[in-house]
Amino acid sequence: MDFPIFDPRDSRCKQPFGAVPCAAEVTLTLRPLASEHFKSCTLIAYGEFANEHRTFPLEKIGNDVEHTIFSGSYTVFAEPELIWYSFRFERADGSVVYLGKNGYCNEGEAVCWQQTVYDDTHKTPDWFGRGVTYQIFPDRFYRTSIPDPAGMTGERVVHQRWNELMEYLPDENGIIHNRDFFGGNLAGIVEKLPYLESLGVTTLYLCPIFEADSNHRYNTGDYEKIDPMLGTEEDFKNLCDEAHKRGMRVMLDGVFNHTGNNSRYFNALGQYPTLGAAQSKDSPYYDWYHFHNWPNTYDSWWGIHTLPAVNESHSDYIDYIIENENSIIRRWLRAGADAWRLDVADELPDDFIRGIRTAMMQEKKDSFLLGEVWEDGSNKIAYSQRRKYLLGHETHGLMNYPFRVSAMDYLRGGDARWFMESMETIRENYPPEAFHSCMNMLGTHDNPRILTMLGTFPKEAPPTRTERAEYRMTDGEKFRGWRLLGIGAIVLYCFPGSPTIFYGDEAGMEGYEDPFNRGTFPWGEEDQLLQNHFSQLGRLRNERKSMQRGSLRWLLAEEHTLAFERKYEDEVTVAITNVGDEEVVVSVDWSGDLATDALTGQQFLAQNGKVTMQLDALDGVILI
């Protein structure tokens, strides 16, 4: 194998791999061609947060026939940092050339490499990344009775039949209110815990459960109250107790960037007894919001007037949500929650997120904080500010949308090398604990159903909302989607981070964008084969430490074929997938004499340290 001039992912060039703790020592080795006649090499490092440039000369330690070898170690910044680095070479004649990700270039043209420096003194709870997460949209999962909305906030309509089509057309003003409810409740989740246990679920991620007059409840009305259609605080405590008995933890959705306009804090509709910010400037909540022309115009989330944005830097709001002894963060942890997921984390100030983590650690030491970020969270810029989500003081982990995007591309015919490259970028940039604490997913409440996306591709979605509402996949589309989802699940469950199921994906639910992706769970009409596949994967994930916390090594990433190894101590698991329409012959490293596909029981003999198999089109195996 050729030795590159410099590749930070190659242990011969950089040690240790990827992100490092504060004040760690990093060793770099470069091997430019001897014909370049370089006499010296200097590392140029810029610490973005410290706004400080540093240079470190590397020692010329020798030559081989074709290369000059420069090597040396440097100590990274003592505080959490993003370092951007490149190299400067000088020749004996005084000429200078720079080396960056874009190769040799002139001064100022080098594309720098990233070195993440994080504080490792506060350890990340490892239970989340090891286990299986199940995302529940509470109104649509399971109901124990048909609720009566009388006396509840808003103008709620309840569907009498569980399998009815949700309301999806806008009103005469072009607004979709999301005020039709099916009545899924917390007691229903408790009743279905044995089912979730059969899937190997270890974390329940609940979309918002606090009082709100929409079925999605991202427009919070009262942070202190469970929505009465879902149940009571006692019902929530009971859910947590029953989940804990089965080894499951509960994650709540914290929507702290905005409230509903129909809330006890804003109270634009006057449905709460409290004096809201939209009712009087004397309201204790008035300063939580930023009005342009009180009370009619104000900052809101993405300009949606029903979602007035909150000033997260206001001391009263910080005290209410975070710091008070009975703050929202603390009281629901005491009630039984084990984790918080921060909705639209990009909209929350770093100090606010840091405060949440501090309060969580004080209240429940092994609680877990997850952030909703759609890009690489190590270098994300939001509102012109570089964010610090993963540097040791804010979130423990993030929703891994880069995984979803690259996995979707691969499953729909993209090159496996792009998936590998995308995930290697994340692995290199994230602290190891954060990488293993990602929430990996294929489907969420913000995207069309994964089965629909895989089965109908590349066909365009029907043009009208009514056509999309009524569309049902053909048998051929459903079969292809089924096979690709099965493959995607293999990658999902074998990859580092918590494999996450959006409720009903394992049952074969289909549908385009919101609200069509938020149908009711098809109890009694599930796709049993797909469910069995997810149950089998859940069992494997919970049984095999290599799948939970093992190292990652890529074995093959070429066109439609992907293979990677997870290893923990002496236990090895290898995932191999083929998303192409033709069978392929695959050969991978194997240290034993025999490999078994954990999904089918089929066995393969190893010869000369290799297992060779013929993998069918649209198929995958998990070798153990």
- Cα dihedral 58, 59, 62, 68, rounded to 10, equals 30
**Integer Rg of the chain from CA:** 26
Residues 6+ apart with CB under 8 A from 249: 127, 128, 202, 203, 204, 243, 338, 339, 368
Residues 222, 240: Cα–Cα separation, whole Å: 20
Residue 610 CB-half CA count within 13 A? 8
* Distance (Å, whole) CA 252 – CA 333: 9
Those residues whose C-beta lies under 8 Å from the C-beta of residue 443, and which sit 6 or more positions away, are 449, 450, 501, 502, 505, 517
Tracing tokens 């791999």 back to the chain, one arrives at 17
Please name the residues in contact with 424: beta carbons below 8 A apart, sequence gap of 6 or more. 9, 554
**Of 38, 47, 42, 12, which Cα lies nearest the Cα of 27?**
12
- Give yes or no for a cis peptide into 80 (omega within 30° of 0): no
SS3 276: coil
Give whole-number Cα distances, 317 to 256, 312, 369, in Å. Answer: 10, 6, 19
The answer to whether the CB of 212 falls within 8 A of the CB of 179 is no
Residue 565 falls in the annotated catalytic set = no
Q: How far apart are the C-alpha atoms of 219 and 153, rounded to whole Å?
A: 12
Q: Which of 442, 551, 429 is nearest to 496 (CA)?
A: 551
Candidates 372, 394, 565, 619; catalytic one: 372
- Rounded to an integer, what distance in angstroms lies between the CA atom of residue 614 and that of residue 391? 44
Residue 585's beta-bridge partner residues? Answer: 614
Half-sphere exposure of 518 (CA within 13 A, CB side): 22
Q: What are phi and psi of 337, to 5 degrees?
A: -65, 155
Determine whether 343 is an active site residue: yes
Q: Which residues contact 390 (CB under 8 A, 6 or more apart)?
A: 116, 118, 377, 378, 398, 430, 431, 434
53 - beta bridge partners? 46
User: Per the structure block, which two tokens stand in for 339?
Assistant: 């984790």
| Residue 356 structure tokens | 């949440």
Task: Sort residue 563 into left (φ over 0), alpha (ψ -120 to 50) or beta.
Answer: beta
Options 227, 343, 376, 506, the catalytic residue: 343
Among 138, 141, 164, residue whose Cα is nearest residue 230 = 138
Sign of CA dihedral 126, 129, 131, 132: positive
Catalytic residues: 343, 372
